[in-house]
Chains A and B, each alone.
Chain A
Amino acid sequence: MDGIPPENFVTMIEAVHKYGRYGPLGKNKEKTMDKTIETIYTGILDGNQHLVAQQVTEALNAGLSPDLILKNGLVAAMSEVGRLFENGEYYVPEMLIAARAMQAGLKLLKPSLADTGVKAVGRVVIGTVAGDLHEIGKNLVGMMLEGAGFEVIDLGTDIKPEAFVNAVREYKPDIMAMSALLTTTMPNMEATIKALEGAGLRKQVKVIIGGAPITEEYANRIGADGFGYDASLAVKVARSLIGG
């Protein structure tokens, strides 16, 4: 708009500097809360694990609700990381260091979440299938699931069908996630699902699969419940399977 007095712009800029993005909240605690959570959020996007750990500690010491820190800080940031990845603005390196920063905060937050009775949105056991040592995809999916509020039990790499079955029996997860990078190890996904069926556990758990050679058609053919094309989409599939 033409004719706005320059001093009004100066006042506006000063106000932004004084009150930050959220404007004058009135109560100092609320302002601190928003600023701390915002710092956690941006710290995760920047992959700054030390900053995130420090700010989560500060937020807890200030008496902020662990649930709020989790949802508005960690989960919200990882959701944004997923969006940036899908849009081609973030790639694997950016996603990895963001997830690592989120994990640094989550580690500090976990005891408080347990104390206050905050429950994970679901439990996932995850691993690469027998014969497959390629862990980066599995790690990314695991971290993104954690960042979405899931409890993730990482079984590691080269997991035999019976080890997946034992983990399902022991941990009673909502979801079992399998990863394979190779066409030669891919058939072990089907073998694992058959082992679950053989143990009478198939109906107790949803099975999702992913990895470079995996297609939706293959997932359907071997009787998986879901297929994630990438780490971000795997989270959406997991959420949909547990009705989240």
Chain B
Amino acid sequence: MNSLERLKHRLRGEGVDRPPNLDIVMTFAAHHIGRPLSQFYLDHRVLVDANLCVAEDFNLDIVQAISDPFREAADFGLEVDFPSDSLPVNRKPLLVAPEDIKKLVAPNPATGPRMSDRVEATRLFREKVGGELPIMGWVEGALAEAADLRSVYETMKDLIQRPLWLEELLEICVQVAIAFARVQVEAGADIIGLGDAVASQISPAMYRRFALPYEQRIFQAVHEMGALARLHICGNTNRIIADMVESGADIIDLDWMVDMKCAAEQFGNKVSFLGNMDPVAVMLQGTPAKVLAATAYCMKVGGPRAISGAGCEVPDGTPHENFHAQSRALSKIGGFEG
């Protein structure tokens, strides 16, 4: 059973040799192959090499084109700096004033330098491991993209002060996300992941108006393209789990502060939950014994469709023995005869 088969069986609740591991790795992956972060962000060949190496060394069941939140935003025209070996930096939003929306031009994902680089990563993944390892493309959710262009701080206020204006911006963002997803699926993505981190900071009512409908549209399009959909919202999403299930995602990531047992008991028959060890306290700062216990617990409470992963990105500097412990735990858990 290869990783792609393992994932597909698991999503259907069918028997597998072990639960799949779909950890998100970014900075960890770049440094694992000794490359500075700027190369990981700007050169898809480095991103692909890093992912293949991590997948092999730590038994991950995924390769992924996720790197940073600024792919679409940079091609919209946001100024992003790439220091040699640290995270990308944006110091000034593109939409400083609400009227700046009039100047906003939607980028073409096939030609935008940063978006097309991700597409190329997806294509190279297909050449190297297509049909064996699930290939995950990535888009920003409409609300997350709005926050990338406008700043989180202003977007939080826009939600209350200028909701109609925000919806106008979200409409632009959702169309770019769908177009971006499409070229990644055409290039070889089996899964499209969607990040909507800011959604955990708003009320359920706001989530239902400003995030969920756009996630639904993107995932519906992804399904029509023939790919799987994964929803990733960092932070405490306990209060919006029921709504997130309505997004249509096949896989829903749960950050470490979410009650995976409760989520699985309520909605485990509708969707696969992925999670949800604490990436810092368990993966980065914990011990192999702690990782083993946490992995086993999550798979036990998550049910027959659960997928293993840290609540968010596996942090740079995570001890290798901790990462290996997750893999050992999954092998020990073994299969489930569906």
Contacts and interface: CB of A to CB of B under 8 A. Distances in A.
Given A92-B201, A100-B157, 18 more contacts: A91-B206, A92-B202, A93-B159, A93-B202, A94-B160, A96-B153, A96-B157, A97-B160, A135-B153, A136-B153, A136-B156, A183-B317, A184-B316, A212-B234, A213-B279, A213-B280, A215-B280, A217-B281
* The 6 residue pairs across chains A and B that have the minimum distance between CB atoms: A183-B315, A92-B201, A213-B280, A93-B156, A93-B159, A91-B203
Interface stretch (B59-67, B86-94, B114-122, B217-225): B86-94
A217 B285 contact: yes
Contact of B201 (A88, A91, A218): A91
Interface string B238-255: 010000000000000000
B128 to A, nearest CB: 28
Nearest to B89: A133
Nearest to A158: B89
A225 to B, nearest CB: 20
B251 to A, nearest CB: 22
A93 B279 contact: no
Contacts of A161: none
Contacts of B317: 183
Given A91-B201, A217-B285, A182 B157 contact: no
Nearest to B147: A136
A186 B284 CA distance: 12
A93 B161 CA distance: 10
A100 B157 CA distance: 10
B20 to A, nearest CB: 24
A11 to B, nearest CB: 39
Interface string B150-174: 0011001101110000000000000
A47 B158 CA distance: 13
B316 A136 contact: no
A212 B198 CA distance: 13
Pick from B156, B160, B234, B284 the residue with the most CB of A within 10 Å. Answer: B156
B285 A139 contact: no
A93 B160 CA distance: 7
Interface string B282-295: 00110000000000
A120 B153 CA distance: 27
Pick from A91, A133, A184 the residue with the most CB of B within 10 Å. Answer: A91
A131 interface: yes
20 contacts: A91-B201, A92-B201, A93-B202, A93-B206, A94-B160, A97-B157, A100-B157, A183-B279, A183-B284, A183-B315, A183-B316, A184-B86, A184-B315, A186-B280, A213-B279, A213-B280, A213-B315, A217-B281, A217-B285, A218-B285
Contacts of B159: 93
Interface of A: 47, 88, 91-94, 96-97, 100, 131, 133, 135-136, 139, 182-184, 186, 212-213, 215, 217-218
B235 interface: yes
Interface in B263-282: 279-281
A156 to B, nearest CB: 12
B27 interface: yes
Contacts of B91: 133
Contacts of A215: 280-281, 285
B279 A131 contact: no
B318 to A, nearest CB: 9
Contacts of A133: 89-91
Nearest to A182: B87
Nearest to A230: B236
A139 B206 contact: no
A136 B279 contact: no
A209 B285 CA distance: 17
A91 B205 CA distance: 11
Given A93-B159, A97-B160, A184-B316, A136 B152 contact: yes
A91 B159 CA distance: 11
A218 B160 CA distance: 35
Contact of A184 (B27, B156, B202, B239): B27
A142 to B, nearest CB: 12
Contacts of A131: 86-87
Contacts of A184: 27, 86-87, 315-316
Contacts of B89: 133
A96 B156 contact: yes
A92 B201 CA distance: 6
B203 to A, nearest CB: 5
A127 to B, nearest CB: 16
Interface string B12-45: 0000000000000001000000000000000000
Contacts of B156: 92-93, 96, 136
Nearest to B158: A93
Given A93-B206, A184-B86, A184-B87, A88 B160 contact: no
A88 B27 CA distance: 33
Nearest to B205: A91
A218 B284 CA distance: 11
